[in-house]
Amino acid sequence: MDRKGLILVKIGGNTLSKLSLFLSFIKTLYELGYDFVLLHGGGNEINSWMEKLGFEPKFVKGRRITDENTLKIVEMVLSGDIQGKVISEVKKAGLKVLGLNGKSIFKCKKLIIDNIDLGYVGEVVEVDVLPIRRLLEERYVVVTTSLGMDESGVSYNINADSAALALGISLKVDRLIFCTDVPGVILREDDKDKVLNKLSIEEAKKLIEEEKVFGGMIPKLESAIRAIENGVKTVQIWGGVDFSRAWNMEEGTLVYKAL
């Protein structure tokens, strides 16, 4: 079989509740020769567990403030709950799959934003792609968490969009798709929401600078910009139900580099 390309899909938000439909089209693409890496976050589930345990989720520019208790919850949800569910769904779809703990591939350092201490929040400084490449050679679909570790063995929570960015660049993927809870990058104009179908990286930078995007969309757009600047050919931000519509660029926001 001719190998047609490597696709990295960051799954999160309500994508996790519609994986069976989502994976049916991925299986079709896999059988055509495309290879897949799935990186998952789990913000909604983490928030839910934090609230159940009496903790209040707090964020700075889309990044979760992560103290010691929050880190334990993040690890429990990502590695102990969500990854198992994703792997189970991939197997049900009839695909070979193997899960990795992000701490085995993401080397981190502590992330500081605007001189604010976010706690155990990491910034990826290096990615060990060899385990993933070996698995892809055997045609496994690889599922990984957005966790990392520094040189001294301290664990960190990594924003899943930022982790996908680092992994996409390191693997030199052909296509990076951020799946989210919104249909794409949305602008409010004349009291109406408008989804932007295409967005150059220059336009994306302007939206961030002018504070026209908020919360979790900031790290998504920042990651899309850096990915394109570092050689990823196609980046999409998408939040639909039918993955074929994202694949055919009928939905979502395409981020591109202007000629």
- Find the radius of gyration of the CA atoms of the chain: 17
- List pLDDT tens digits, range 56-96: 999 988 889 999 999 999 999 999 899 999 999 999 999 99
Q: Is 240 annotated as a binding residue?
A: no
Q: Is 215 annotated as a binding residue?
A: no
- List pLDDT tens digits, range 218-245: 888 988 999 999 999 889 999 888 899 9
Q: Pseudo-torsion of CA 204, 209, 211, 213, nearest 10°?
A: 20
Domains present along the chain, CATH in parentheses: 5-256 (3.40.1160.10)
| Residues 90, 153: Cα–Cα separation, whole Å | 30
| Residue-level length of the chain | 259
Decide if 253 contacts 236 (C-beta within 8 A).
Answer: yes
| Residues 186, 34: Cα–Cα separation, whole Å | 30
Decide if 105 contacts 127 (C-beta within 8 A).
Answer: yes
Map residue 180 onto helix, strand or coil: coil
- List pLDDT tens digits, range 105-149: 999 999 988 888 999 999 999 999 999 999 999 999 999 999 999
pLDDT at 259: 66
Q: Is 64 annotated as a binding residue?
A: yes
Cα 201 to the center of its chain, rounded Å: 18
pLDDT at 258: 78
Average pLDDT over residues 14-42: 90
pTM for the complete prediction? Answer: 0.92
